[in-house]
């Protein structure tokens, strides 16, 4: 007798989940054909009947959290339950056996679920988020106890991360031996379309045909204005202004919306007047992005935080990739071997504490005053410009590293093993 297919609900486009990364390409790369499983993005209507069902589940969660010792303040419980989003939970009632969530445990926990995270900070959304955690004592927040209860509950079948740090420190953060058995590490894998992969493979020897050096900076998948700043765009502009004044044969491609709401509309005109800078303000398709990656000599992502997918995709394309020393980057880039690590973020804008929690502040990068980081970035960009052989060496090592350690088939086979481990027992 064969067991029936497990239907995995992926309600990433429900309002609350959409707010926190939604249908993001990183977890999206795991949606594939696994025997015995199907994935369903369908959402149920937030009609009266489903709202009532969701309210019943919310009340059940309230009762469960009220059983903690010492008993939490009722207002804190209510705030946490409300933060799961009643409409969102109503739309997550489409028939399924198991919910696949990512970023945050935005669930009432009545349907079995498992969760993908990068940094552990997002577990506490919306009470804590990137950039506002610098002074947070996480274990003193009411949400800490409530999230721990959700994670330890039988309905939570597992948590996995592509960061070794998150795997190692999640049980430490929550002081929970039970969670040690639930947390899994799966190395992130990258892929491109077959046509793009062919292009990348065929053009490995053709980079560097133009005199000088072409640098590429891209915004994130979301293309939000603030992401330009958080990914180091302001520092890139400052560094490139110095570089192009000294070396007229350098070029910079910027694929990003510009933060005019922060710097003012005149910032767009200022950027457009910079010599040898090509500005692309609309989203690029995957094929267009590959073309830019293969045109460039160096990829720049000197961000405040980790952007693992962007880093690995550039490395796969054979680009020497310039990152900051923000926590997490050390798991993917080794300085002067598989990339360039610019110091100056860790300890100032981001740092881990002794229990693995990520503390961040974005205030320094949104300052309109130039800081030391852009000077260090300029120096690394200058060294890469002056040493084409070093660029080739690092780019080749980066590509080989990704092909060995971040294969898409290994990423998916690890996910398949996780599915089998968290698979519910069905009647």
Stated pTM of the model? 0.93
Q: Indicate the DSSP class of residue 174.
A: T
What are the φ and ψ backbone dihedral angles of 189, each rounded to 5 degrees? -115, 155
Write the pLDDT tens digit of every residue in 269-327.
999 999 999 999 888 888 889 999 999 999 999 999 999 999 999 999 999 999 999 99
pLDDT at 97 over 80: yes
Mean per-residue pLDDT over the chain, rounded: 94
Q: What is the mean pLDDT of residues 40-45?
A: 96
CA distance 388 to 393: 9
Sign of CA dihedral 351, 354, 356, 358: negative
Which pairs with CB-CB distance under 8 Å and at least 24 residues apart come from 192-195?
192/286, 192/290, 192/313, 192/316, 193/286, 193/287, 195/287
Tokens of 320: 């020497």
Whole-angstrom distance between the N-terminal and C-terminal Cα of the chain?
13
Burial of 160 (0-12, 13-18, 19+ CB in 10 A): buried
Q: What is the mean pLDDT of residues 159-183?
A: 97
DSSP string, 246-284: H-TTEEEEEES---HHHH-THHHHHHHTSTTEEEE-S--
Contact indicator for 356, 340 with CB cutoff of 8 Å:
no
Please, which pLDDT band fits residue 426 given cuts at 50, 70 and 90? low
Where are any strands of DSSP class E within 36-134? 37-40, 98-102, 113-117
For residue 70, whether the previous peptide bond is cis, meaning omega lies within 30 degrees of 0, is yes
pLDDT at 139 over 70: yes
CA distance 168 to 253: 38
Give the pLDDT confidence score for residue 1 in this predicted structure.
37
**Between 48-66 and 142-152, two packed helices, what is the crossing angle to 10 degrees?**
100
- The set of residues, in sequence order, having a beta carbon less than 8 Å from that of 283 and lying 6+ positions away, is 223
Tokens of 300: 């720049």
Where are any strands of DSSP class E within 25-171? 37-40, 98-102, 113-117, 156-161
Tokens of 361: 């502040």
Continuous segment of H or E residues that includes residue 214: strand 213-218
- Domains within the chain, CATH numbers bracketed: 6-189+409-422 (3.40.50), 194-406 (3.40.50.2000)
10-24 in b/e burial notation, b at 16+ Cβ within 10 A?
Answer: bbbebebbeebbbeb
Burial of 52 (0-12, 13-18, 19+ CB in 10 A): exposed
Q: What is the mean pLDDT of residues 395-402?
A: 97
Write the pLDDT tens digit of every residue in 403-421.
999 999 999 999 999 999 9
Write the pLDDT tens digit of every residue in 61-83.
999 999 999 999 999 999 999 99
Write the pLDDT tens digit of every residue in 12-36.
999 999 999 899 999 999 999 999 9
pLDDT at 223 over 80: no
CA triple 239-215-219, angle to 5 deg = 85
- Which residue blocks in 185-232 are alpha helix, DSSP H? 194-202, 225-230
> Which of 397, 298, 371, 306 has its CA nearest to residue 118?
306
CA dihedral 26, 92, 357, 222 (to 10 degrees): 40
Give the pLDDT confidence score for residue 143 in this predicted structure.
98
Q: State the Rg of the chain over Cα.
A: 23
Write the pLDDT tens digit of every residue in 241-250.
999 999 999 9
CA distance 307 to 310: 6
> Which of 320, 94, 71 has its CA nearest to residue 208?
320
CA dihedral 350, 354, 355, 361 (to 10 degrees): -20
């Amino acid at each position: 007798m064969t067991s029936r297919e497990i239907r995995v609900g992926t309600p990433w486009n429900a309002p609350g989940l959409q707010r926190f990364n939604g249908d993001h390409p990183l977890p999206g790369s795991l949606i594939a054909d696994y025997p015995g499983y199907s994935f369903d993005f369908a959402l149920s209507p937030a009609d009266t009947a489903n709202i009532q069902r969701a309210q019943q589940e919310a009340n059940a969660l309230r009762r469960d959290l009220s059983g903690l010792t010492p008993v939490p303040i009722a207002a804190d419980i209510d705030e946490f339950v409300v933060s799961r989003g009643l409409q969102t939970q109503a739309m997550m009632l489409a028939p399924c056996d198991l919910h696949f969530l990512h970023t945050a445990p935005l669930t009432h926990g009545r349907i079995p679920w498992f969760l993908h995270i990068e940094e552990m900070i997002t577990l506490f959304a919306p009470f804590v988020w990137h950039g506002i955690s610098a002074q947070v004592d996480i274990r003193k927040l009411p949400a800490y106890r409530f999230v721990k209860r959700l994670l330890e509950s039988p309905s939570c079948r597992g948590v996995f991360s592509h960061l070794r740090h998150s795997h190692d420190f999640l049980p430490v953060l929550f002081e929970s031996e039970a969670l040690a058995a639930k947390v899994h590490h799966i190395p992130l894998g990258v892929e491109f379309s077959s046509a793009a992969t062919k292009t990348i493979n065929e053009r490995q020897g053709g980079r560097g045909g133009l005199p000088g050096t072409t640098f590429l900076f891209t915004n994130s998948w979301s293309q939000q204005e603030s992401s330009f700043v958080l990914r180091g765009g302001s520092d890139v502009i400052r560094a490139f202004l110095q570089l192009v004044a000294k070396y007229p044969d350098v070029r910079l491609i910027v694929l990003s919306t510009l933060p005019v709401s922060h710097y003012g509309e005149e910032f767009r005109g200022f950027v457009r007047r910079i010599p040898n800078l090509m500005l692309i303000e609309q989203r690029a398709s995957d094929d267009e992005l590959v073309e830019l990656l293969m045109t460039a000599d160096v990829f720049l992502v000197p961000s405040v935080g980790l952007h693992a997918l962007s880093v690995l995709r550039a490395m796969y394309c054979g680009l020497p990739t310039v990152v900051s020393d923000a926590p997490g980057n050390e798991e993917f880039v080794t300085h002067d071997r598989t990339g360039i690590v610019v110091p100056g973020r860790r300890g100032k804008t981001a740092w881990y504490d002794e229990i693995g929690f990520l503390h961040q502040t974005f205030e320094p990068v949104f300052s309109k005053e130039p800081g030391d980081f852009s000077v260090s970035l300029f120096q690394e960009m200058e060294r890469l410009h002056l040493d084409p052989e070093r660029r080739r060496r690092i780019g080749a090592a980066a590509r080989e590293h990704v092909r060995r350690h971040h294969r898409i088939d290994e990423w998916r086979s690890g996910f398949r093993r996780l599915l089998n481990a968290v698979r519910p027992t069905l009647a």
